[in-house]
């Protein structure tokens, strides 16, 4: 998988989702007030939490761009992974747990749902807005995934911010469909417990999405290897250089969405002068960074015999 350059990691998709969710949260809140629907209140909390989440992602991306300093010699690239993990936790706690609490409360203390027309209209409007954001998100994912199968890309991509937005938007569309179904059932059966069940179902969806997102981000947060294609490139560069006999070992760490740390130990032919070794290493670094500009930190150690 080719990694995108730094310009490929913009904030457009996050800002777009943030603006959509601000409008939707306000409209859902109005619908919840007008109808007394627990499912609509759960969706209001969900969209409000999404707004906070997207602000956290923007904060993470901003912090990730900070230059390396004495305290953080490899930069702040992993900041975006930390805030992505926090987003998953907030989605679990604020969105999912509150929706379940509201569902249990409404089920044990049923209240009639009224003015359902407001809710239906706003849900349809919200589905259109969330659906637009989700489709835009999928289009961006398809651009970046290249030839990799879509769901495989969700697992292997290093772009945690894009995956978080996709998860939020997908959960929002599904949650709205559940809320609409619950409201219609409550209205036509006269049993408001369907609305409570809808709130419970929305909570389960949010918790499931949060667990998925947290598990995907955790690997990046604790230190995940970079894309295997970088190692393939390293092996090819070494094979094409007559002064290198073997790549003894190679270690990579993803430091951020577009930052990779690479440490290589190579076996070279004997009797090379210090100057020739220096030229060899510089040429190796230049060729690797030309093909993979995301390799920001690169260390190459030459040796004359295999070391384990």
pLDDT digits (tens, 9 = 90+) for 39-53: 788 778 878 888 888
Q: Is residue 104 part of a domain?
A: yes
pTM: 0.74
Residues 19 and 66 in one domain: yes
CATH of residue 112: 1.20.1510.10
Q: Same domain, yes or no, for 105 and 233?
A: no
Per residue in 248-258, pLDDT tens? 999 999 988 78
The β-bridge partners of 254 are 260
Q: Could you tell me which residues are beta bridge partners of residue 300?
A: 264
Give the percent of the chain with pLDDT over 90: 23
159/33 same-domain check: yes
Q: Is the pLDDT of residue 138 over 50?
A: yes
Check residue 102 and give its pLDDT.
Answer: 81
Residue 77 CA to residue 6 CA, distance in Å, equals 12
Q: How many domains does the chain have?
A: 2
pLDDT at 5: 40
pLDDT of residue 260: 93
pLDDT band, very low/low/confident/very high, at 9 (cuts 50, 70, 90): low
What's the rounded Cα separation, in Å, for the pair 177 and 175? 5
Quote the CA–CA distance of 89 and 92 in Å, as a whole number.
5
pLDDT computed for residue 231 by the predictor: 93
3-state secondary structure 56-112: HHHHHHHHHCCCCCCCCCCCCCCHHHHHHHHHHHHHHHHHHHHHHHHHHHHHHCCCC
Per-residue H/E/C for 179-244: HHHHHHHHHHHCCCHHHHHHHHHHHHHHHHHHHHHHHHHHHHHHCCCCCHHHHHHHHHHHHCCCCE
The range of the structural domain enclosing residue 164 comes to: 6-222
Q: What is the CATH number for 284?
A: 3.30.70.1350
- pLDDT at site 3: 39
Cα 46 to chain center, whole Å?
18
Please report whether residue 146 resides in a domain. yes
Q: Is 40 within 8 Å of 179 (Cβ atoms)?
A: yes
Q: Is the pLDDT of residue 234 over 60?
A: yes
d(CA 46, CA 32): 12
In a domain, 1, yes or no: no
**Mean pLDDT along residues 117-143:** 86
35-93: pLDDT as tens digits: 888 778 877 887 888 888 888 888 888 888 888 888 888 888 888 889 888 888 887 77
Of 222, 255, 280, the one marking the end of a domain is 222
- Is residue 265's pLDDT more than 90? yes
Helix axes 98-108 and 38-64, enclosed angle (nearest 10) = 170
Nearest Cα neighbor of 27 from 151, 124, 159 is 124
Q: Higher model confidence: residue 267 or residue 306?
A: 267
Q: For residue 244, what are the β-bridge partners?
A: 268
For residue 133, give both structure tokens.
């954001």
Mean pLDDT on 222-246: 91
Are residues 158 and 284 located together in one domain of the fold? no
Last residue of a domain, one of 200, 222, 244: 222
Question: pLDDT band for position 307 (50/70/90)?
Answer: very low
Give, as one character, the DSSP assignment of residue 2.
P
Q: Do residues 39 and 139 share a domain? A: yes
* The predicted structure's pLDDT at residue 267: 93
Contact 91, 209 (CB under 8 A): yes
Lowest mean pLDDT among 91-95, 174-178, 198-202, 227-231: 91-95
Residues 129 and 161 in one domain: yes
Give me the percent of the chain exceeding a pLDDT of 70: 95
pLDDT at 10: 62
Which tens digit of pLDDT belongs to each residue from 97-114?
A: 888 888 898 888 887 777
> pLDDT of 160-171, one tens digit each?
777 888 888 898
Do 206 and 261 have their domain in common?
A: no
């Amino acid at each position: 998988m080719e990694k995108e350059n730094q310009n490929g990691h913009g904030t457009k998709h996050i800002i777009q989702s943030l603006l959509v969710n601000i409008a939707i949260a306000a409209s859902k809140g109005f619908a919840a007030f007008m109808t007394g629907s627990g499912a609509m209140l759960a969706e209001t909390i969900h969209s409000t939490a999404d707004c906070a989440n997207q602000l956290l992602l923007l904060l993470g991306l901003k912090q990730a761009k900070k230059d390396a300093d004495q305290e953080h010699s490899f930069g702040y690239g992993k900041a975006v992974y930390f805030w992505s993990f926090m987003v998953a936790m907030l989605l679990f706690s604020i969105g999912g747990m509150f929706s379940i609490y509201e569902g249990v409360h409404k089920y044990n203390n049923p209240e009639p749902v009224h003015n359902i027309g407001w809710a239906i209209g706003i849900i349809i409007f919200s589905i259109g807005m969330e659906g637009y954001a989700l489709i835009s998100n999928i289009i961006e994912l398809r651009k970046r995934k290249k030839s990799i199968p879509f769901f495989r890309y969700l697992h292997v991509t290093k772009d945690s911010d894009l995956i978080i937005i996709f998860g939020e938007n997908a959960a929002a569309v599904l949650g709205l469909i559940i809320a609409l179904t619950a409201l219609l059932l409550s209205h036509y059966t006269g049993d408001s417990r369907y609305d409570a069940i809808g709130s419970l179902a929305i909570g389960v969806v949010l918790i499931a999405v949060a667990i998925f997102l947290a598990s995907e981000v955790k690997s990046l947060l604790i230190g995940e290897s970079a894309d295997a294609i970088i190692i393939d490139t390293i092996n090819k560069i070494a094979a094409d250089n007559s002064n290198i006999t073997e790549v003894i070992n190679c270690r990579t760490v993803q430091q951020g969405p577009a930052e990779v740390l690479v440490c290589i130990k190579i076996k070279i032919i004997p009797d090379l002068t210090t100057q020739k070794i220096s030229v060899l290493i510089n040429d190796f670094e230049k060729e690797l960074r030309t093909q993979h500009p995301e390799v920001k930190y690169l260390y190459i150690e030459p040796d004359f015999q295999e070391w384990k």
